[in-house]
Amino acid sequence: MTHIPGIVITGASGRMGQMLIKTVTDSDQARLVGVVERTGHDWIGRDVGEAMGGAPRGVTVTDDPLEAFAQAQAVIDFTAPEATLEFAALAAQARCVHVIGTTGMTDEQIAALEPASRHAVIVRAGNMSLGVNLLVQLTKKVAAALDEDFDIEVIEGHHHHKVDAPSGTALMLGEAAAEGRGVKLADVSDRGRDGITGARKRGDIGFHAIRGGDIVGEHDVLFAAPGERIVLRHLATDRAIFARGALKAALWGQGKAPGQYDMVDVLGL
């Protein structure tokens, strides 16, 4: 049994944390060996199964990430940027594969992952689903095929608890569109128009965020030209797609050379 990788889930009580715990527990390719929550959380010291309102799973929620990581071969982390940076250093120390689903990281925070990636495998993606990663590839292709007569707009929708905008996925799609066009996203990005903005600038890539209810994640990439429109769309209806992708990444990373990877590597797209 020991060849089956042991996995730690951080942010255990979160929407994704709970989905990940269920996905790993249900899998016969991985073992749940630890779950981490932030200090002071009322799940600390409890059996995670009971904390989730079900049967005991024999794993106690801890606020000591290093102790948990030392028992594991991979850490799956969907938390918050500052927490993810701390976990990256500790996962590297424990030589664990660190799968990062956390979004909203600044460029500085992403750059700060580099030292950890010299010692361990990091797989980071703003969206871990197969469908979205395919959509990213399609977006790049369509943007490369069309000229600037086609205005590109990325429209995303998420539940009302989401704290960052545009979503990590919207940014992935925007990056793909910019890459397809051979431009830098930072030079053409136009976010959340409001007021007398003036006419749309040719070549810009626009972003719009809808927040409401329990929307899991919806993304449209619109290519609009005089007389015609193309819309590439992904609708997520179940968080399990992200958890399945994250587990796949944790298993894929075993035995890989230290470095930073994304889901395009994992899925071989």
Binding residues (CB under 6 A) for ligand NAD: these are 10-11, 13-17, 36-38, 41, 78-80, 83, 101-104, 125-128, 168, 242
- For residue 53, the minimal CB distance to ligand NAD (Å) is 15
- For residue 186, the minimal CB distance to ligand NAD (Å) is 21
In this structure, what is the dihedral angle of CA atoms 193, 155, 109, 133, given to the nearest 10 degrees? -160
Nearest to ligand NAD of 181, 219 (CB atom): 219
Contact 144, 108 (CB under 8 A): no
Cis preceding linkage at 226, omega within 30:
no
Residues 251 and 128: their CA atoms lie apart, in Å, by 14
Q: Which of 245, 258, 252, 259 is nearest to 16 (CA)?
A: 245
Q: What is the DSSP string of 188-233?
A: HEEES--SS--SPPTT-EEEEEEE-TT--EEEEEEEEETTEEEEEE
Q: Which residue is nearest to ligand NAD (CB)?
A: 14
- For residue 39, the minimal CB distance to ligand NAD (Å) is 8
Residues 109 and 20: their CA atoms lie apart, in Å, by 24
- For residue 102, the minimal CB distance to ligand NAD (Å) is 4
Give how far Cα 117 sits from Cα of 121, 165, 186, 190, 238, Å.
6, 26, 25, 32, 31
Nearest to ligand NAD of 16, 178 (CB atom): 16
Show the beta-strand stretches assigned E in the chain: 6-10, 31-36, 61-62, 74-77, 97-100, 121-124, 151-158, 189-191, 205-211, 217-225, 228-236, 259-261
Nearest to ligand NAD of 20, 178 (CB atom): 20
End-to-end CA distance of the chain: 31
- For residue 103, the minimal CB distance to ligand NAD (Å) is 4
Nearest to ligand NAD of 15, 256 (CB atom): 15
Q: Which residues are catalytic?
A: 158, 162
Nearest to ligand NAD of 101, 206 (CB atom): 101
